[in-house]
């Protein structure tokens, strides 16, 4: 089917104008807004290390942050669930087939 990227020139491209319009609106808003100066991070101290500490609620980072231990665990569970779902979706067809044949077989036996 889609062996290589190909630029389509069908009428469906026209709808993409909406995306451009959205960009126009957003850009107009952003560019006319003023946010003031950035606070930034002081030069001394490792940002990466601070992220690591923040993720496990350790109070040793160089920069302020909230604790994210619970979020970390929740995301871990979500990832796990997504993995299971992916496996399930991938296997379902086969299982149904086997179940159907099994069911027919057992019913026939009885």
Partner 1 sequence: MAAESGVFTFAPAIAVLPFVSFLVALFAGKYMPKKGAVAGIAATAGSLLLSLVMLAQVASGHAHHMELYTWVGGEGVPFELTFGILLDQLSTLMLVIVSTIAFLVHVFSLGYMNDEGETGLPRYYAELGLFSASMLAFVFSDNVLMAFMFFELVGLCSYLLIGFWFRRPGPASAAKKAFLVTRFGDYFFLIGVVGIFATFGTGTFGGPGVEESFPELAEAAIAGGASVNTFFGLSPRAWFGVLGLLVLGGVMGKSAQFPFHTWLPDAMEGPTPVSALIHAATMVAAGVYLVARMYGFYALLPTVLAVIAFVGGFTALFAATMGVVKDEIKQVLAYSTISQYGYIMLALGGGGYVAGVFHLTTHAVFKALLFLGAGSVIIAMHHNENMWDMGGLKDRMPVTYYAFLSGSLALAGIVPFSGFWSKDEVLYETLVHGLGGSPLLLAAYAMGLLAVFFTGFYTFRMVLLTFHGEPRTDLAEDPEPVRWNVKIPLAILGVLAAVIGVINLVPVHALESSVPEFLHDWLYHGPEGLNGEHYHELITSPEFAGYSAGAIPGLGELGTLFASAGLSLAVALAGSAVALALYRAPAPEEHTAKLGSLKTLLYENYYQDEYQVWLAQDLTEETVAKNAKRFDDGVVDGFVDRVSDVSLVSGHFLRRVQTGIVSNYAALITLGLVVLLVAFGIVGGWFGGVFA
Partner 2 sequence: MAVPVQYYLVLSAAVFCIGLFGILTRRNALMFLMSVELMLNAANINFVAFSFQHGNLTGQVFSLFTMALAAAEVAVGIGIILVLYRNFADVDVTKATTLRW
Q: Which residues bind partner 2 (CB under 8 A)?
A: 1-2, 8, 12-13, 15-16, 18-20, 22-23, 26-27, 30-31, 33, 35, 38-41, 47, 50-51, 54-55, 61, 63-66, 68, 71-72, 75, 78-79, 81-83, 85-90, 92-93
| Residue 28 in the binding site for partner 1 (CB under 8 A) | yes
> C-beta of 4: minimal distance to partner 1 in Å?
22
> C-beta of 44: minimal distance to partner 1 in Å?
38
> Per residue in 66-97, is it b (16+ CB within 10 Å) or e — as a string?
eeeeeeeeeeeeeeeeeeeeeeeeeeeeeeee
Nearer Cβ to partner 2 (44/109): 44
Q: Which alpha helices (H) appear in the chain, and where do they start and end?
A: 17-32, 47-55, 69-109
- 9 token code pair: 């020139």
> C-beta of 18: minimal distance to partner 1 in Å?
5
User: Is residue 65 within 8 Å of 50, Cβ to Cβ?
Assistant: yes
Q: State the DSSP code for 11.
A: G
User: Is residue 34 within 8 Å of 46, Cβ to Cβ?
Assistant: no
Nearer Cβ to partner 1 (28/86): 28
Q: Which residues of this protein are in contact with partner 1, per CB under 8 A?
A: 12, 15, 18-19, 21-22, 25-26, 28-29, 32-33
């Amino acid at each position: 089917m889609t062996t290589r990227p190909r630029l389509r020139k069908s009428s469906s491209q026209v709808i993409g104008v909406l995306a451009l319009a959205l960009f126009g609106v957003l850009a107009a808003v952003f560019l006319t807004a003023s946010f003031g100066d950035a606070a930034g991070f002081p030069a001394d101290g490792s940002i990466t290390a601070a992220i690591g500490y923040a993720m496990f609620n350790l109070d040793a980072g160089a920069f302020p942050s909230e604790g994210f231990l619970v979020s970390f665990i929740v995301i871990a569970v979500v990832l796990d669930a997504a993995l299971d779902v992916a496996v399930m979706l991938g296997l379902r067809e086969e299982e149904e087939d086997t179940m159907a044949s099994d069911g027919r077989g057992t019913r026939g036996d009885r």
